[in-house]
Structure 1
Amino acid sequence: MRIIVAGASGLIGTAISSSLRSAGHDVGTLVRRPPASPDEFQWDPGEGRIDDSALKGADAVINLSGAGIGDRPWTRARINELRSSRLAATGTLTAAMSRLDTPPAVFLSQSASGYYGSAGPAVLRENAPPGSGVLARICVDWEAAAHEAPAGVRVVTPRTGVVLSRSGGALGRLMPLLRLGVGGPLGNGRQYWPWITLPDVSGAFAFLLNSRLSGPVNVCAPESADVNSLIAHLAGALHRPAVLRVPAPVLRLVMGQLADELLLASQRMEPAVLSEARFAWQHPSLGQAAAWVAERGPKT
Structure 2
Amino acid sequence: MKEFNKVFLRMISAVCKYAKGNEAINSMPAAKELLTKSDTLIGKTEKVLEFVATENKSVVVAVTFASEKVVAPLYAVIKALEVYFTKQNNTAMVAELHITRTEIKRATYKAIQASVKSVLKIARDNLTNLAIYNITEEQLAAIEANMQQLTTANTALEAYQEEKRVKRVELDALIEEGKELLNEMDMVVDIISLTHPEAFKGYTEVRNKKEYTELLFTISVVNSETGKPEENARVVVQSTTKKEKDKPYVLIDRRTGKSGEIRNNKREFDIYEMIVEKIGCETHIQQFTVADNTPLRLEVMLKKKEGVN
TM-score (norm 2): 0.21
Larger Rg: 2
TM-score (norm 1): 0.22
